[in-house]
Each structure stands twice: as structure tokens, then as C-alpha cells.
Structure 1
Amino acid sequence: MAHSSNSSFFSLEEISKLKSSFEMDGLMRATPQIQKKLNELDNTELNIAVTGESGSGKSSFINAMRSLQSDDEGAAQTGTTETTMEPTGYRHPSLPNVCFWDLPGIGTIIFPTENYSKEMQFNKYDLFIIISACRFSENDVKLTKEIKRLGKNFYFIRTKIDNDLRSMRKRGRKFNEEEELEKIRNYCVRSLQKAGIPSPHVFLISNFDLNLYDFDLLSKTLDVDLPNIKRSIYTLALPNLNLEIVERKREELREQVWMMATLSGAVGAVPVPGVSLACNIGIVLKGIVHFRKCLGLDDASLQRLANEVRKPVEDLKAVVKTPLVGEITPDIITGLHWGLASATISAVELAFNNIPIIGSIFGAGSSFLVTYKLLTGALDDLTENAKRVVKAALGIDKNVPEQNQSMS
């Protein structure tokens, strides 16, 4: 996934101000703007509401998005009857600023339609996912009209597609799977259009095989529709279903590298012996821990993936070939082969990585360059190891092109 030179995190106006700050007063003037943006990345919340009628698979979808099984600690409670009595938030286990909200089914006796949006505090959610296991109801349509009135984005998910196809197979019916999926999708779209929803987004999903059917299309649609920082947060919170998602995460994290390095360059300009090196290592340590968590290489993420694919976690850990997944110490950082001994970088290399203030950054000196090289090397190393884990988890043939490799 390629990004334009106007970063996911900065608007064109912000980039213009950033360049002016560098040109006028160098790093010290621009650093607060970059620090503010990094703080936004740490503190911005993404709240996703998941609603629909009871028994539609809301809780199963929330668990799948967080790579949790129904019996895992912190999993949303599942069942065929309404188990949610109030809006219940479920935070992402690795990125707690991402929260999925399980909303009670609309149209029940407890939550009649006319009071639903007020009771559920619709204003606080960034987007809505409306789930149905069969056909979208009149209540679902009423719900979308209220969401639209508030100016929020909404998406329809038709779950349990695997059950529909399995039922057809059990009846011994011969059919073309792609044609049947298209029939189901078109039926949902036409029904919603007749009910007054002109251009509904409908995605066919299996909560137990997210990689199948329309999940990839759903994730890319949300990636486009979400604004700036929230788009990045969403991408980093996706489960590692295939190698493409891992690569998308690398591209998002790469945009954070130059900001971290610039902060290091600012501190490196302070004439205090030892301060520059100490700050470089501190920033690099924090960056590596963050990269590792987003790429699913921390112990908890590896265990969740092992549970999901029903393999021993030791099998996944065995393919990890980097010292960056254990305890990270300053000695490990200074010993990295892509680090302190190779702090040279070209304008072409920086331009390739879409840094919006290239010309000014070259005045930042060795502190910027060392930190940039260390973080870039660490990110690339961790990404390749994350891909090895995905291949081991999913039993992917190493000879198959990466773009074709996903859960099956």
C-alpha cells in the first residue's frame, strides 16, 4: 500500500508549517509540532460500534477482529440470544486505543427503536458496522438513517456466509461459489436500496474465516474512509491474516520513523556529552517495542495466533530469527549491523520513504541519521520475521507469490 508524499498523519497545511519552521529556526522550532503529532498517535481513540439484531454474530465478529477465541479472557460473550444489555467496549489487546463496542440488538423489548440511538450514545462512535445473519431488517434501515443523520459512516456485514455455502453442499447441490456469493450480495444491496439506502456498502463475512470472502475489501474500504491518524490506527490493529496486511503495517510504521528520528536529532543538537547517544537509544527502544506489538511479535500476540490456528506457540516462535523479540537492551541496539557504523543516507533513500521535509532534515546531523537507520533496519527486520510467523501459522508454501498468500 503506497502513501502519497503528504503523510497519513499531516495535512498539507501542517506540512507547509513544518517546512517553514525548519527553514526559519531549524529543528528546535519544528520539534514541538512533531512531538504533538506523535502524542496524537498515542492518544487518539478509534471507536467502532457493532450493532444489529440479536444472534447475528456481533460478538463473534468483535472477537475475530481482536484475534480472540470465545473462551479467551476478555472475549465478548457469544450466544444465540441477546447477551448484551448495554454498550460494552472491548479494547484491542495490543492497541488499547482501538475499541469495539458491542451494542444491544435494536428493536427488542428492552431497547425499542425510537430510543436506541440516544441510549447507545451514537455520537461517540467513529463508524458503525451493522451485522445480519440473514436479511437486513426494517430496524436496521431505521438505524442507518439515524447514523446518516449524524454524519457517520456505516457498513453492512452479512455474516455466516460459510453456513449458507455448507448448507448448499450438504443438500448435494452443485453450484458456483462466486456466483452464489454474488447473488447473496446483490439481494442484500437491492433490499436495502428498496428500503431507502441508495448506495449501501455490503460485505459478506465469515467470523471464523475472516480471510475469506469480503473481509479484505472491507478492511481496505475502511482504510480509505477513515481520516488520517485513525486510518493508521485501524490498519495497525488488523489481525495478521495474510502477508499483505503485514506489509501494509510496515508502510504505516515507516511514516513514524522519520518523526522519531527528528526528535532524536533535536536532542542531539544539545551540547551535553552523552545526551545524544542516550536519547537515540531511548527512542529506538521505544520504537522497537511499538513495532513489535503492532506486527504481532510480542508474546501475547504470538499466543493468540497460536490459539487461533491451533498450533503450539513454540512452532511460531521457532521461525523468529531476530534478537529484537526478547528483552531489548542498549547493548543489543548498539550491536545491530545496520546501526551506528552505517549512519550515511542519501536524499534518494529519504525521498523514497516519503519524508515531507527532506531538505531541512539533512541539517539535523548524525543523531537523526543514526536513529533513522536503526529504526528503519529494526522495522524491516521485524516485518520479515512477522511474515515468517504468518507463513508458519497458516502453512503457506514459501514458493507461492506473497500476494496470493492468505488464510485458507
Structure 2
Amino acid sequence: MLFVTLTQLLFLVLLVWLVWRVVFKKAEGDAGVKAKPREYLAWLGALIVLLAVILALLTPNNGAVVQIWSILSLPLKPLGLSLLLLLFGLMGIKKGGITKEAENYIRIATGILLFFSIPIIAFFMVQLIESDSILALQAAVHRRDKVDAIVLLGQATTQQPFLEANRVHLTDAGDRILQAAREYDLQLKLGNDASIIVSAGPRPGQRLNPNQPNPPEAFAIARILNSLGIPKSAILIEPTGVDIRTSAEAIKRKYIDEGNMSKRIILISSALNMQRARQTFAQLGISTIPSPATFYTFQAGGVPRVLFRVTQKDKCDTISITFNNAREVQFSDFMPNVDSLLLSTRVINEFWTSVYYFLRGWLSTEVDPIPSLENIKC
């Protein structure tokens, strides 16, 4: 904790220094070190940035803070940074031509868009992040752990169609719900009566009835699980979690601290954020068995395509997943497309979110290792 605290203090000191450099500058031609304030807008802009960052650290789930930060964080994403550089470049275009600085802005913006839009680069980035989740997927083939609870981080797994009020549609992350049902069935086969804790708060930016608060998404997920054969008595609703941290805190407070379940759970989340999710739960003293879903690595356009190998040793079937020589790289793998830009942005968003969690002291390095295939018994 001392290391995390020092890191946060250094970050705040660096932030104050950067704002000071924005607001003040040395007066040119003076021998002494004098500071001259810039225009009023520079003061105001720097103050807004400072307040937004401080509020994001203190109250990350505040609606106004979320909206302001979504704007200020735009340059931290490939598309936002490219648009900002292009804007700077356009400001350098005059009747007599274009300045050298503006040309450089346009070149850099074009390079960023091209780089992060190339499929082979986007899938390489996502494979690096999902590598631990791939190992967890292999280890789960013969997992025999019995737990009290299966925790499903279900935020953004469903969408409410406005024209069909009684129906629920799945998003591209909806396979997490199916993963929860599979884990429940596995626990039943092991002779264990586990519960599924569905953690998902209200959908952001959506209001079905202006006179009533937005219902938590967890209730819609519970209906889907019940339709898949999971009894209502086995489904527990946690309706306040809007992100990984708030879900972990609510589960610890409501179930573990009250003695209703042990500190070892099966955790279901996206493969992209599984490592951050496990570290977040570990920081609260909760041991997790990873059960990842929503693998972008295994998409049809994955580069290179994954290769599955199933072998049998005695009565034990094992599965291995490799990326080497799965298929030859094709010319289309180097052709930029919008899907690859979106995938690259997801990876970068996860990186910055992990940095934020680290600065808040929400991540623990003491996470249970994923067992290797050699240590898994049939």
C-alpha cells in the first residue's frame, strides 16, 4: 500500500506541475525567472482539466464526472487523438499554403489511424491482453473446484428493445450469461449446489419511464438465466454494480462480510478485462477462479487464426491452443478497416482503465496463479 500511495502522490504532483506549465510560462528575454499568466481561457481550461481529474479520482461514478471525462479523455484514444491532430493541422492551412508544423500534425494523425486500423496489429494487441484468459480457458476444461458462488459481472450484456418491452436482447458480451449457466451446470455435476450472483446496475443513459428510476440490468439477466433452466432460488441479484470495482465492493459487503459465502468464487467476465477483475477482487481479499468469456481473439477475423489440438492421455482429454503457424498471413490482414480500429480502441481503453485502477490502489498483485495443464487432474 505504501508503494501505491507514493505513486498516487507522485501522480498528483506531476499533474499540478503540468497545469502550472499550461497556465504560466517564463517571460522571454528576462534574466530572472518570472512567470507571466496566459489568457483567461488558458486559466479556465487548465482549471477544468485539474478539477475533472481530481473528481474522477474521488467520485468516478458521478454522472457529470463521467460525461466530462469522456470528453477530456478523447485524445487518449486513436480516433480522438487523430482528430485533434488533424484540427491542429487545419489551423495551419492558410491562403499562402500550409505550415511545416501543420504538415507534421497531418502526417502523424494519418499514421495513427492507419496503424490502429490494421487487422494484424489489432488482433496482436488483443491476443497479448487475453493471453492469461486463454490459459484460464484451457485450465477450465478439467476444473473440479467446488465453490459457494459464481459471480457474473453482467454490465452491458443485454439491451432493452423499446418496441418489445417484455423481451431482452443480448449484446456482443452476452455470452457471459451463457458461461454462467455452463458453470452452474458443472457445479451440479460435481454435486455442489452453488448460487449465481448477478452484478449489474442500471444501464447508463437509458430511461424507459421518465417518472421512475432506471431498473438494474441484473433483473433482465436473471430472467434469461431462469429461461436457461437455472432455478430462481439459485440466482442472487446485486443491482448496484456499474463497474468492476463497485461490483466487487457490493459482493464483499453483502455476501462475504455477512458470512453468506466463502472468499473463493468463480468469476465470469470479459477476457479483455479478466486480469483487472481478478486483481480488483484480490485487493478486497476475494480469491477468484477465472471463467473468461467474450474472446476477441477467437473472432472469425482473428490474425492469426487459433489452432485447437485435443489429445488423450489415459482417460484424460486435454486441449491446447496455439497461434503459431495456424494459417498464413494474407494481404487483407494489412488492409485497414473500422472493426480493427474499434478493437484497438477497446485494448487501449482497458489499458487506461487499468492505469486508473492502479492509481486508485484498487489492484492487487497477489492473485492466484492459473494452473498449468500438467497440474490439472482428470
TM-score range, shorter chain: under 0.3
More strand by share: 2
TM-score (norm: length of structure 2):
0.26
More helix by share: 1
